[in-house]
């Protein structure tokens, strides 16, 4: 018996941030149903290609912005996974989300589907830094998203932050960390800014 982790890439974004060189696309939301259909076929293909019985112990929806997928489309993906794979009893299911794309209703829907861990792209608590990164939220959206998630019963929370921004000093970075820690997340992912080739920020 083998343990598997599934990573599902959701390449859709409302806006492509200035530092991003990931496989993401803005303004193509109309392709979501077709993409989900293709993903479900890939899940089926992957399951039948395995020579041994497999148990999935983690599922991670990354992107892009997975929280742009409507609940009904996510439900199609979950049904395909549950149909073709065996789930470990205490499976961890993570979905990446941008704070400004969430609502209480949406998070309730995620919980009902089985999502039990949320990875929030906070990036910074400073409005100047968020504008520099071309993020479409503020720190108030982060606070609201954390509260909504916990109300929905998603209590395993991770916050992403970026350091090493242009003109950022140590005290500003420490303030970002302090405000993030005050939200009592279970995990912090801290990334140094990388100026990727071809991005607006590199220019």
The answer to whether residue 201 sits within a structural domain is no
Q: Which two tokens stand for residue 179?
A: 């405000």
pLDDT digits (tens, 9 = 90+) for 153-187: 999 999 999 999 989 999 999 999 999 999 999 99
The answer to whether residue 51 sits within a structural domain is yes
The answer to whether residue 200 sits within a structural domain is no
The answer to whether residue 203 sits within a structural domain is no
Q: What is the CATH number of the domain that holds 171?
A: 3.80.30.20
Q: Which helix (H) or strand (E) holds 84?
A: helix 71-84
Which residues are CB-contacts of 126 (< 8 A; sequence separation ≥ 6)?
139, 172, 175, 176
d(CA 184, CA 182): 5
Measuring CA to CA, how many Å separate 41 from each of 5, 48, 58? 18, 11, 20
**Total structural domains in the chain?**
1
Q: Is 21 exposed, middle or buried (0-12, 13-18, 19+ CB in 10 A)?
A: middle
pLDDT digits (tens, 9 = 90+) for 35-79: 999 999 999 998 887 766 678 999 999 988 999 999 999 999 999
The answer to whether residue 24 sits within a structural domain is yes
pLDDT digits (tens, 9 = 90+) for 117-143: 999 999 999 999 999 888 889 999 999
Domain of 75?
2-192
d(CA 14, CA 45): 30
The answer to whether residue 199 sits within a structural domain is no
């Amino acid at each position: 018996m083998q343990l598997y982790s599934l990573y599902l890439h959701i390449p859709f974004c409302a806006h492509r941030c200035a530092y991003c060189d990931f496989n993401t696309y803005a303004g193509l939301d109309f392709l979501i149903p077709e993409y989900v259909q293709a993903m479900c076929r890939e899940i089926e293909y992957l399951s039948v290609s395995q020579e041994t019985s497999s148990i999935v112990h983690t599922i991670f929806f990354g992107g892009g912005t997975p929280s742009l997928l409507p609940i009904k489309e996510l439900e199609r993906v979950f049904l395909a996974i549950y149909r073709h794979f065996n789930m470990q009893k205490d499976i961890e299911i993570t979905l990446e989300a941008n704070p400004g794309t969430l609502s209480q209703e949406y998070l309730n829907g995620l919980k009902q589907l089985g999502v039990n861990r949320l990875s929030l792209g906070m990036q910074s608590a400073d409005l100047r830094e968020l504008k520099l990164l071309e993020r479409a939220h503020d720190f108030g959206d982060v606070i609201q998203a954390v509260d909504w998630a916990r109300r929905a019963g998603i209590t395993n929370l991770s916050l992403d932050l970026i350091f090493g921004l242009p003109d950022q000093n140590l005290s500003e970075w420490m303030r970002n960390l302090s405000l993030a820690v005050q939200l009592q997340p279970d995990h912090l992912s801290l990334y140094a800014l990388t100026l990727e080739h071809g991005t607006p920020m590199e220019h």
